[in-house]
Structure 1
């Protein structure tokens, strides 16, 4: 299983976005209450995993479930641990944001925790794609695409960017001081490098999928 989709219990994505990522996935997992969202989409997860305090099964349904009662990890962590042990390389995560802010922040922290264990780990909503980028990163994106950078670990330094409207040259981003929100692609490829810290990149959905 190389590519998996995890559907969490946050704000549901639009149906077309869900269908798009479901079609790419070799394995479809619902993280607890994500199983309720899957039902609304008339989709059948290969597995529903979590502490199962949110998923509401119907009597006439037949889902494979895996209950993990450990309260030291949330349902997204449980799903990612399951996929890591099955040597999945690419994971797309839907519905991990958009409801309770504390749960959204927790899921972004989980993104950092598990990022080294997969070749690609994306968190996706109706607006765009969030990923933790490596120290040296390059990609092609349609001109005009919105790109935002945020220091996940509090501070990231030595940041250099190319191909963006507002370039950076060996600069620092720090929470509460400076971030890099709402930049624009002006030429390709865009290149981003940094020396220390952890850097999140958000890319607007508009035409983004064409570059994957």
Structure 2
């Protein structure tokens, strides 16, 4: 589980399970420490925390990696994600990856492509959304979200078939820039999205 420096709150705590490897990127590390968790790894340039908070993070973290804020080529979130992919986990959950900075939000959503290429399932969550990327078959369960939307992350996604949705699709094509597949709903406890080619964002959301 990677905690970034975006919007975090008490909603994130129940997602932490026993035995999860916790990684804090910059301010995300402070969120973990301030809630009584010892990050397995804390990394970043730590330009979003005070000197005292940084010192406390360093004391609490199992491993501490301090990056130069000027010379590094990647965001703190991407550095943490690349480390996590190298560990070959069963799944990576990203929290604190969205917020007021739209550039960081979009960059973090696009990180899902790295997980897809590496064959490591990755889910990005915030208080109102669950986001996953697929280029094959993705099975979903009803977690109480009001809506589910499909957005192409490649110019075109072909062969889209939906099972367990209010508005079904069969062998459909979605092109980037269309809103055809926004605000669908699940009508079954278990559903599935199948894609023949292309990369498709599957976004479950609630107001």
TM-score range normalised by the length of the shorter chain: 0.7 to 0.9
How is 1:4-23 mapped onto 2 (pairs within 5 angstroms)? 5-12=1-8, 14-15=9-10, 17-23=11-17
Q: Which residue of 1 aligns with 2:178?
A: 177
Distance 2:93 2:186 in 1: 23
The worse-fitting range, judged by mean Cα deviation, of 35-44 and 110-119 is: 35-44
Cα RMSD (Å):
2.5
Q: Which residue of 2 aligns with 1:66?
A: 65
Q: Which residue of 2 aligns with 1:209?
A: none
Residue segments in structure 2 that go unaligned for 5+ positions in a row? none
Q: Which residue of 2 aligns with 1:108?
A: 109
Contact 1:91/1:118 (8 A) holds in 2: no
SS at match of 2:13: helix
Residue segments in structure 1 that go unaligned for 5+ positions in a row? 207-212
Contact 1:136/1:193 (8 A) holds in 2: yes
Distance 2:19 2:206 in 1: 19
Distance 1:146 1:157 in 2: 22
Q: Which residue of 2 aligns with 1:210?
A: none
Q: TM-score, normalised by structure 1?
A: 0.82
User: 1:28-72 CA deviation, whole Å, 9 max, x = no partner?
Assistant: 111112123334434332321123333334176214420234532
How is 1:24-103 mapped onto 2 (pairs within 5 angstroms)? 24-58=18-52, 61=56, 62-64=59-61, 65-69=64-68, 71-103=72-104
SS at match of 1:49: strand
Q: Which residue of 1 aligns with 2:148?
A: 147
Paired residues, what number?
200
Contact 2:12/2:127 (8 A) holds in 1: no
Distance 1:158 1:164 in 2: 16
Taking a change above 3 Å as real, the CA distance of residues 142 and 53 of structure 1, as seen in their structure-2 partners, is closer
